[in-house]
Structure 1
Amino acid sequence: MKKIITIGASTSKNSINKTFAKYVASLINEIEIIQIDISNFNDVPIFSVDYEKENKTPEEIELLNSLFKDVDGFIISHAEHNGSFAAGYKNIIDWISRQEGKIFNDKPMLLLSTSPGARGGASVLNQAISLYPHWGAKLTGQMSLPTFQQNFENDELTNPTLKTQLLKEISNFEAALKTD
């Protein structure tokens, strides 16, 4: 059975991006889902080379890096903070990148974003699309879900056009998982 990590790339305990990532993973058959909650990493120090020289890498970062190596793929849904990544998520990525560089180990990844607004986190998703291949992600697809509260009700994506788009992206992700 394939193992995938889902991440709602937000430090909010009630993140709509966590909800969206979890929902998307639930639509995939025969996988083990490991949910990473970025809010559990709020005590990780802000990355700096000075801190790194004076201290060791935080244990939770080393464990997360090992977990990233042990899975078969990733589903990440990004919160958009001022047009970019949430600071807490970016800090985790900065720390993991110091371990070996290729954070995502050339494994399949489905990138997502959502927000209450009409653009659905499109700016952060575009940044992720351009950066993640450099970080070792094998992108299989992407989707931005606009106006989350209007399109996602009762734990379900209710907009039929968006659901069709999502199912296509999931199909591409599943195909990549099988061949990887």
Structure 2
Amino acid sequence: MKTIIAFGASNSKTSINKQLAIYTAQQVENVEVTILDLNDFELPVYGIDLENEIGIPENAQRFLNHIKGADGIVLSFAEHNGAYSTVFKNLFDWMSRIDGKVWSNVPLFLMATSPGARGGATVLDIAAGRFPHMGGNIKAVFSLPSFNDNFSETGIKDEVLRDNLDKEIKKFETAVHE
């Protein structure tokens, strides 16, 4: 059976992006889902001096091993001041020191959501532009605006948004099973 990992690029214990990633991953058929929490991969703030002093922390390698062992990745970004959350950027920096092609050509479903009307669109654009240069095999992209109005435990409330998400899930699912 194919395996996918799902995570929110946030360290919030109540992350709406983690909720969206988990919900989406659970919609993919015929896969085993592993949910990752960035809080389980604590890392010091990246710096070349620290890397030279201590080397690569084990948690960076552990997270990268999950990526390399997956058949697909569902990643939903928290947007902090129009960019990646600090915790994600730090993890990303450490992993890129191990392997510059961090995403290892594993099929990616990139997502973002926020309480606001743009749904994390800015950070999603940044990742969609950057990741292909780092082994990112982006197969699906989705932004959910106004999370609190458009999401419930049973899924996406708005029919148009739900249909858009379903189409992206099918594209991702096809890529995972190829």
Match of 2:36 in 1: 36
Match of 1:153 in 2: 152
Match of 2:84 in 1: 85
- What pairs with 1:11-90 in structure 2 (closer than 5 Å)? 11-41=11-41, 43-90=42-89
Deviations, residues 99-157 of structure 1 (Å, cap 9, x unaligned): 02111101110100000000000100000110111111111121110000111123411
> How many residues align structurally?
178
State the distance in 2 between where 1:90 and 1:172 align: 27
Q: Which runs of 5+ in 2 are unaligned?
A: none
Match of 1:3 in 2: 3
Say which SS state the counterpart of residue 90 (structure 1) adopts.
Answer: helix
8 Å Cα contact 2:112/2:120 also seen in 1 = yes
Match of 2:171 in 1: 172
Deviations, residues 4-28 of structure 1 (Å, cap 9, x unaligned): 1111001101000000000001111
Supply the RMSD in Å over aligned alpha carbons. 0.9
Say which SS state the counterpart of residue 8 (structure 1) adopts.
Answer: strand
Query: Structure 1: which 4+ aligned runs deviate by more than 2 Å?
Result: none
- Greater shift, 16-25 or 66-75, is seen at 66-75
The one-letter amino acid of 1:22's match is I
The one-letter amino acid of 1:86's match is S
Q: What is the TM-score when the length of structure 2 is the normalising length?
A: 0.97
Are 2:98 and 1:99 equivalent residues in the alignment?
yes
Identity among equivalent pairs (%)? 41
The one-letter amino acid of 1:130's match is G
Q: What is the TM-score when the length of structure 1 is the normalising length?
A: 0.96
Say which SS state the counterpart of residue 36 (structure 2) adopts.
Answer: strand
State the distance in 2 between where 1:154 and 1:100 align: 36
- What pairs with 1:129-144 in structure 2 (closer than 5 Å)? 129-144=128-143
Structure 1 residue 39: deviation in Å? Answer: 2.2
State the distance in 2 between where 1:38 and 1:67 align: 12
State the distance in 1 between where 2:67 and 2:158 align: 32
